[in-house]
Amino acid sequence: MVTYAAPLDDIRFLLYDLLDYEGQVAALPGYEEANRELVDAVLEEGARFCQNELLPLNRPGDEAGCRFENGVVRTPDGFKALYDSFCEAGWNGLSLNPDYGGQGLPKTLQFVMTELICSTNLSFGMYPGLTHGACNALEMHGSDDQKRTFLPNMIHGRWSGTMCLTEPHCGTDLGLIRTRAEPMGAAPDGESKYSITGTKIFISAGEHDLSENIVHLVLAKLPDAPEGTKGISLFIVPKFLVKEDGSPGTRNGVACGSIEHKMGIKASSTCVMNFDAAEGYLVGQPHSGMAKMFTMMNVARLDVGIQGLGLAETAYQSAAAYAKERLQGRSLAGPAYPEKAADPIIVHPDVRRNLLTMRALNEGARALALWVAIAVDVAEKHPDAAKRQEADDLVALMTPIIKSFFTDYGFEATNLGMQVYGGHGYIREHGMEQLVRDARIAQIYEGANGIQALDLVGRKLGQNMGRLLRRFFHPVQGYVEAKMTRPELAEFVAPLAKSLSRLQQSTLWIAQQGLKDPEEAGAAAADYLNLFAYTALAYLWTRMAEASLAQQDGDSAAFHEAKLATARFFFQRLLPKSSGHFSAIMAGKAPIMAMKEAAF
């Protein structure tokens, strides 16, 4: 069993001491009741539920996996009861619209809860996570009738949701999909019906025994569809057709053909879904499905980034606990515990390097995630349209960075945790090898990380004449200029300023070279995203250091002392990686593209 306790002290520090949750979020219209007292109560109860209910089923769920029997998917023992408890407690609708049964709490709290769920049972979290994304898409794009029909049951958890995009011959290039939608006429309530036929693969939660109905959001093409992504439409295709009284009726023409046998997240059903003249309902206008599905995908990409953070946090806590207990060798400085047969391995520099790498990235990533989470709430609720646009721009800019960097480092962190355990980490008993296996998929699904890097340099950099970039560069540059003369912050602000300068230089270089040769931008993309991520973490680590320097006394002194020690490790041992990414960018495409294809 892994070691995990929800990092509530760190979360509270970020919300209240660093990011001004009360002034930024609790002051927004509709969130007045989501004050610190309520938030703390939600955090405590969420931590209790995840630690006491989700975590104990994580390893048994991985060992049992899902079973496919006669077209039916069975989740591991205990998952159905756990799902019912999860929904009855209201976690399924935590941040969803109260008009349809949700609690209407800030998205910031949903981000926090997502981390706790992913830390304790990622496979389980896939089921409500997919439903949450489907609800967001339907609320934004569905008709009033569609919302009334589907959202209350989905928010409660009686019904669940999916998104069906990928097909056997296409994943990233969805313009190649072959799933067809043929008009069937109108239903008695006037809703236009369509016959959906095709096969979708890699569908998370596509079939299971947790909910009484599953609402699939399916991309398909109408007979008159234009070529490519401009010809994609979005359809609602329920597993069971809905009767007039709102209850599930006859089985629709959609069935699971098989489930995948995967490296990780084995208790999450990943399905091949066959649509055979299934009845579906168009969401919005024809040929506008990609834009609507991106509502769900963008939320999912942020959630996937949080998956990397959640697993990395559990890996860190487990490895730190093990390093304090495992006796092996003696400290290089002389016996630290002479009364014992050997010293605990935490005395060794290399073990500490691994642990501090995990910790520094976790705490920096959590700060970045919550900074963006607050922007999500501001973008949705702020009364000033200009403020909403600024916040939305920041979210759009940071989404590919969070998805890609968090999942790359999350996989690295779980491997570092395994390294701390040594041979005991490689076997199943301690749970570390499951964290490694579960973490690997996050770098691939919801848009592989290479695609995220291309999105950043190919779309976000030039969008609206660089407006998105200004949402990051301007506040960070302003902060550096304001703090540069503070001697107590010099050890943090100076390296932040250097990293920011490299990021600005590389941004200009990519903009200039990419206009002349798109391959130059493509070759720089991954390193640019990582340089951006390290600079963003440096900005937030500087702010965290400043906040901790102001709180050196009192009951939290030990917390802030550790925060400052971790900050110094980040700046002196991790941020130097940003110069390597800068050098790689400036090398251009030649080292990558010069080799002839036949030589590979």
CA neighbor of 283 nearest in space, from 273, 295, 272, 274:
295
pLDDT score of 535: 98
pLDDT score of 170: 85
What average pLDDT does this structure show over 536-551?
97
Say what the pTM is. 0.97
pLDDT score of 296: 77
pLDDT over threshold 70, residue 189: no
Q: What are phi and psi of 417, to 5 degrees?
A: -60, -45
Nearby residues of 317 by Cβ (< 8 Å), 6 or more positions away: 2, 3, 4, 5
Listed in sequence order, the DSSP H helices in 382-464 are: 385-421, 423-426, 432-440, 449-455
Mean of the per-residue pLDDT values for the chain? 96
447, two tokens: 């848009």
Please give the Cα distance from 136 to 16 (Å, whole number).
27
* 3-class secondary structure, 475: helix
What average pLDDT does this structure show over 519-545?
98
pLDDT score of 424: 97
Please give the Cα distance from 197 to 175 (Å, whole number).
17
CATH of domain 8-141: 1.10.540.10
Angle at 162 between CA 207 and CA 31, to 5 degrees: 135
Query: What is the per-residue pLDDT across 89-102, written as a single tens digit (0 to 9) for each?
Result: 999 999 999 999 99
Please give the Cα distance from 120 to 317 (Å, whole number).
12
What average pLDDT does this structure show over 272-288?
96
User: CA dist 42 to 91, 103, 124, 368, 373, Å?
Assistant: 10, 12, 20, 21, 16
pLDDT score of 190: 65
HEC states along 288-300?
A: CHHHHHHHHHHHH
Neighbours of 78 (CB within 10 A): 16
Query: DSSP class of residue 69?
Result: E
Q: Does the CA dihedral 361-363-368-370 come out positive or negative?
A: positive
Query: What is the per-residue pLDDT across 379-398, written as a single tens digit (0 to 9) for each?
Result: 999 999 999 999 999 999 99
CATH of domain 161-288: 2.40.110.20
pLDDT score of 540: 98
301, two tokens: 């990409």
In this prediction, residue 293 has a pLDDT band, given cuts at 50, 70 and 90, of: confident
Neighbours of 556 (CB within 10 A): 16
Report the run of H or E that residue 534 belongs to, with start and end: helix 518-549
pLDDT over threshold 90, residue 550: yes
Report yes or no: 358 and 316 within 8 Å, Cβ to Cβ. yes
pLDDT over threshold 70, residue 49: yes
What average pLDDT does this structure show over 261-287?
97
Side-chain-side CA neighbours of residue 423 (13 Å):
0
Exposed / middle / buried, residue 84 (Cβ in 10 Å: 0-12, 13-18, 19+) = middle
Query: DSSP class of residue 355?
Result: H
What average pLDDT does this structure show over 130-136?
95
Dmax over Cα atoms in the chain, in whole Å? 83
| Cα 524 off chain centre by | 24
pLDDT over threshold 90, residue 172: no
Report yes or no: 221 and 232 within 8 Å, Cβ to Cβ. yes
pLDDT score of 188: 59
Report yes or no: 115 and 125 within 8 Å, Cβ to Cβ. no
User: CA dist 395 to 132, 469, 541, Å?
Assistant: 18, 11, 19
Query: What is the per-residue pLDDT across 447-493, written as a single tens digit (0 to 9) for each?
Result: 999 999 999 999 999 999 999 999 999 999 999 999 999 999 999 99
Point out which residues pair with 233 in neighbouring strands.
Answer: 220
* 3-class secondary structure, 232: strand
Point out which residues pair with 215 in neighbouring strands.
Answer: 161, 238
Query: What is the per-residue pLDDT across 422-438, written as a single tens digit (0 to 9) for each?
Result: 999 999 999 999 999 99
357, two tokens: 């790498």
pLDDT over threshold 70, residue 187: no
pLDDT score of 259: 98
Active site residues: 446
Exposed / middle / buried, residue 227 (Cβ in 10 Å: 0-12, 13-18, 19+) = exposed
Listed in sequence order, the DSSP H helices in 236-342 are: 289-325
Q: What share of the chain is helix, strand, coil (3-state, %, to 5)?
A: 60, 15, 25
